[in-house]
Amino acid sequence: MDASICSRIAQLYDASDVLVAVYDGFDRLRYANPAFRAAYFVEADEAPTWAEIMRRNHALDRGTVLRVPDLESWLTSTLSRRGKTGFRAFETDLHDGRWLWMTETVEGDGWMLCIASDISHIRADERSVRQARDVAIKASYTDDLTGVANRRFLTARIEQILADHHVSPQHAGCLAVIDLDNFKLVNDRFGHQTGDLVLQDFASKIQGQLRRSDCFGRMGGEEFALTFPDTPLEHARLMLERMLTVVRLSKPLANYPDFSYTFSAGLTSSRPDDVLSDFYRRADDALYRAKVSGRNQVQASDGSIDWAEAR
């Protein structure tokens, strides 16, 4: 786009009462007009992450009204879905009394454009109905225990990788199936309540390592899945190896300071003609390889060996 046009667009945004912000693929604020910065108390020379904006404003009862008992759990849950779809629209209220209609448009590289308009004229009873609707939608996509995405939301993201690859054969994505190692022993030794704490710690640690475009969630029990849209297999593997290092160092149980845990992961890359069952099976077969090879590792599969028959 011509530089003069870009400059003119920036001038229009800067003069507008509409809130406009742009976040990069790691959810760091890269542009915000004065209206947005005023609403969320961000200085002109700052570039905080979205989570940092939420944390500091919540502590000072300003910015977005968050009716949550545990901010960090809410952030983990919200980040597991934030920016995972190309477009989202929702309503939110501010401590200054304004009610906003906000849209999020996400590009393939993870950059996000946020635009919010003041809709405070909507009656309070209508707001309550809409809030209840948004809460119900969020619950339908959230794992109750860990707060990250659930099987339903993950399945949709896996299907999106396959759909994108079918349309653009040069843009493969990756899927990882992850299982906590020897988790039954954790439950047997410490009890299921402590096991739940380990699952919650694991979800939090992995969520903190993701790009915006990646989606992580719980499939059930101690099994999780992670999608890497438009990502080469080796790049995805390096990210999983980094996550494995982070988890190895975690000490989630205050009463058992020597306790640590690991995970095994199976990774595969999409094919243009894939269906979900085949895509998931290859990742699951790679997970089987990781477990029979000693656990605490990542194995990648290109589908050249049928590990399902080798079991």
- What distance in Å separates the CA atoms of residue 107 and residue 211, rounded to the nearest whole number? 13
Q: Where in the chain is the domain with CATH 3.30.450.20?
A: 3-140
Instruction: Give the Cα separation of 105 and 108 in Å (integer).
Output: 10
Domain with CATH 3.30.70.270 in the chain: 151-310
Domain 151-310 sits in which CATH superfamily? Reverse transcriptase/Diguanylate cyclase domain (3.30.70.270)
Burial annotation 257-269 (CB, 10 A radius, 16+ → b, else e): eebebebbbbbbb
Which residue did the predictor score with more confidence, 204 or 1?
A: 204
What is the percentage of the chain residues whose pLDDT exceeds 70? Answer: 90
Between residues 27 and 132, which one has the greater pLDDT?
Answer: 27
Torsion of CA 168, 170, 171, 177, to 10 degrees: 120
pLDDT 10s digits, 144-173: 899 999 999 999 999 999 999 998 888 899
**CA–CA dist 73, 216 (Å, integer):** 15
> What residues have CB less than 8 Å from 296, skipping those under 6 apart?
181, 244, 248, 262, 263, 264
Residues with catalytic annotation?
Answer: 222
CB 299 within 8 A of CB 289: yes
- Encoding tokens for residue 140? 């339908």
Q: CA triplet 46, 59, 243: central angle to 5 degrees? A: 70
| Residue bearing the bigger pLDDT, 285 or 77 | 285
pLDDT in tens, 190-231: 999 999 999 999 999 999 899 989 999 999 999 999 999 999
Quickly state the pLDDT bin for 81 (edges 50, 70, 90). confident
Would the pTM of this model clear 0.85, i.e. be above it? Answer: no
Place 180 in a pLDDT band, splitting at 50, 70 and 90. very high
| pLDDT attached to residue 311 | 43
Q: Which of 198, 200, 202 is nearest to 246 (CA)?
A: 202
Question: What homologous superfamily is domain 3-140 in, according to CATH?
Answer: PAS domain (3.30.450.20)
Q: Are 51 and 210 in contact (CB under 8 A)?
A: no
Mean pLDDT along residues 7-35: 90
DSSP strand pairing (19-23 vs 112-118): antiparallel
Q: How far apart are CA 129 and CA 134, in angstroms?
A: 9
Q: What pLDDT, on a 0 to 100 scale, did the predictor assign at position 309?
A: 41
**Cβ atoms within 10 Å, residue 256:** 12
Looking at residue 139, what is its pLDDT? 66
Look at residue 177 and tell me whether its pLDDT is greater than 80.
yes
Whether 129 has a pLDDT exceeding 70, the answer reads: no
